[in-house]
Amino acid sequence: MTRSVLTPHACERCGVSPVGAWTVSMFNTQQICMTCKQTERLHPDYAHAHDTECEAVKAGDRNFPGVGLPADLAGGGTVYDVTYKCPSCNTIWQKQWSRSQQPGDCPGCGCKSVTPLKEEETNV
């Protein structure tokens, strides 16, 4: 398959088309949409995939194919319990996240600028 960085294409994981912004998966070489990337970042194996790729690049492998896509990420349908924090009012809450269910508005102030917290940030 020929891929171009200049023309819109479908996300190679979930199929959404056309994709405006995209990136390459940390687990394999798929070009994925930013929603699939967000789901990927929340996966429990993401840190391992990231660290393994960094080590490969340090060792000179500029074409590292990734550690392999976990089965539960195929198709972009994974659901996670995610802790969110509002940058405006600092409200913290937990909600399930999936491609089809975005985090929604902050329950504290109603703003839409919510961000998921990393696991180490939730142990405050």
- Rounded to the nearest integer, the mean pLDDT of the chain is 77
- The whole-number pLDDT of residue 117 equals 66
Report pLDDT digits (tens) over 28-67. 999 888 888 888 888 889 999 999 999 999 999 999 999 9
- The whole-number pLDDT of residue 61 equals 95
Residue of 111, 112, 110, 92 whose CA lies nearest to 102: 112
CA dihedral 78, 81, 9, 24 (to 10 degrees): -100
Residue ranges covered by each domain of the chain:
1-77, 79-124
Full-model pTM: 0.61
Q: How far is CA 4 from CA 26, 30, 35, 106, in A?
A: 19, 12, 20, 37
